[in-house]
């Protein structure tokens, strides 16, 4: 079982990374192979709407996006983590979601004429188990959370939940430091159990 965490924080001492690590470490105890990508280390610009991926079947912008996309394709489960910036996910994560969602669709489908709806063959994300993790100092987690959910439910993913929304309340001047957010840490760990359960069931289903 391969689990990928994508951290959309531009900060080195990232709270989002902390919460993602809580979930990933729980996955590791369940025998999963995990990896975390810090988008702050990569150079990924936003989608430029060129529709080049419709023909090329991959994003045609030449930057570090391909590194993330390959790892997303290999993963059974993906955690999308983002700090809340003005009630939204960060531009780093938005760039990845826009480009992955669009090029992932044209990887396996053909665009037809305006009248024709295309024959659905799935996306590269079909059946992947996905969850958002959003972190704010005070407010806006659910808006950013919803952005990730809307991406996942438009890209044929299966969404896992936990005992509460997978959100952290932390940050400079925030309610608590992330490592003191016991409830949040519990939520992140339970998320890993739920995702593991779903992925194992799905894998068993394909073996039958
Ligand atoms: C540009 C910017 C916008 C922010 N907007 C919000 C916000 O809307 N709500 C909030 O509670 N915190 C907001 N914050 C605080 C961060 O969400 C918070 O510090 C978070 O823990 C940062 O996560 P990170 O350490 O993973 O980068 C903002 C911070 C920055 C730099």
Domain segments of the chain as ranges: 2-207
Binding site membership of 15 for ligand 1 (Cβ less than 6 Å): yes
Structure confidence at residue 177 (pLDDT): 83
- On the CB side of 121, how many CA atoms lie within 13 Å of its CA? 11
User: b vs e for 130-148, b when ≥16 Cβ sit within 10 Å of the residue's Cβ?
Assistant: bbbbbbbbeebbbebbebb
Specify burial of residue 2 (Cβ count, 10 A radius: 0-12, 13-18, 19+).
middle
Distance 36 CA to ligand 1 centre (A): 20
* Average confidence (pLDDT) per 10 residues, the chain, 208 residues: 97 94 97 98 98 94 98 98 98 98 91 72 94 96 98 97 95 73 96 97 85
Annotation: CATH topology of 2-207: Rossmann fold (3.40.50)
The whole-model pTM stands at 0.95
Q: Are strands 33-38 and 2-7 parallel, antiparallel or unpaired?
A: parallel
Determine which residue's CA is closest to atom 4 belonging to ligand 1: 85
Cα–Cα distance, 199 to 79 (Å, whole number): 13
């Amino acid at each position: 079982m391969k689990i990928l965490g994508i951290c959309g924080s531009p900060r080195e001492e990232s709270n989002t990374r902390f919460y993602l690590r809580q979930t990933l470490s729980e996955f590791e105890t369940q025998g999963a192979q995990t990896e975390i990508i810090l988008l702050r280390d990569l150079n990924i610009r936003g989608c430029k709407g060129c529709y080049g991926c419709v023909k090329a079947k991959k994003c045609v912008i030449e930057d570090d996006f391909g590194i993330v996309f390959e790892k997303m394709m290999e993963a059974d489960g993906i955690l999308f983590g983002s700090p809340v910036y003005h009630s939204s996910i960060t531009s780093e994560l938005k760039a990845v979601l826009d480009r992955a969602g669009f090029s992932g669709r044209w990887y396996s489908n053909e665009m037809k004429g305006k009248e024709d709806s295309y024959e659905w063959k799935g996306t590269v994300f079909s059946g992947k188990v996905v969850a958002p993790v959003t972190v704010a100092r005070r407010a806006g987690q659910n808006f950013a959370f919803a952005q990730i959910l809307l991406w996942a439910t438009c890209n044929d993913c299966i969404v896992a939940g936990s005992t509460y929304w997978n959100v952290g309340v932390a940050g400079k001047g925030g309610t608590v430091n992330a490592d003191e957010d016991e409830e949040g840490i519990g939520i992140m760990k339970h998320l890993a159990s739920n995702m593991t359960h779903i992925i194992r069931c799905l894998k068993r289903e394909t073996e039958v």
